[in-house]
Amino acid sequence: MLKQILITGAVLVLCTPLYAAQTTAPQATTPQATTPQASAPQASGEMMGNTCAGCHGTHGRLKGEAFVPLAGMQESTFIKAMTDFRSGARPATLMGHVARGYNDEQVKAMAEFFAKVKP
């Protein structure tokens, strides 16, 4: 019983700084000049495609057979695969979650990038 109390206390003590770091004190607002803000630049297909490198190789150039290589893949094939992963029509352990992280425009940009990469 004492061990459980000590563990609970230790967890609370260790988590308190994390909680304090997440809560911010209200800041005073000062009037700022109103200047038009440029919207954030859109990520390129290559930038987004780099997230695929862990499994599919750098620029989709895979050197093993565990995953499908993406380099040189036709745009329509890539888009269909991502759409099917996103909807659940194509069962997958990980790719369903990954595909849901991208909208249609982003998937198209990645498809265009991978189609241009030489295998």
**Which residue bears the tokens 């620029």?**
59
Rounded (10°) CA dihedral 77, 81, 87, 92: 170
> Burial of 35 by CB count in 10 Å (0-12 exposed, 13-18 middle, 19+ buried)?
exposed
Within 10 Å of residue 98's Cβ, how many Cβ atoms?
Answer: 15
| Span 56-112, pLDDT tens digits | 878 787 777 778 889 999 999 999 999 999 999 999 999 999 999 999 999 999 999
Whether this prediction's pTM lies above 0.85 is answered by no
What domains does the chain contain, in order, with CATH numbers? 45-116 (1.10.760.10)
| Span 31-68, pLDDT tens digits | 555 555 555 556 788 888 888 888 887 878 777 777 88
Of the two residues 97 and 5, the one the predictor is more confident about is: 97
CA distance 98 to 103: 11
What was the pLDDT predicted at 1?
A: 61
Tokens of 29: 């607002």
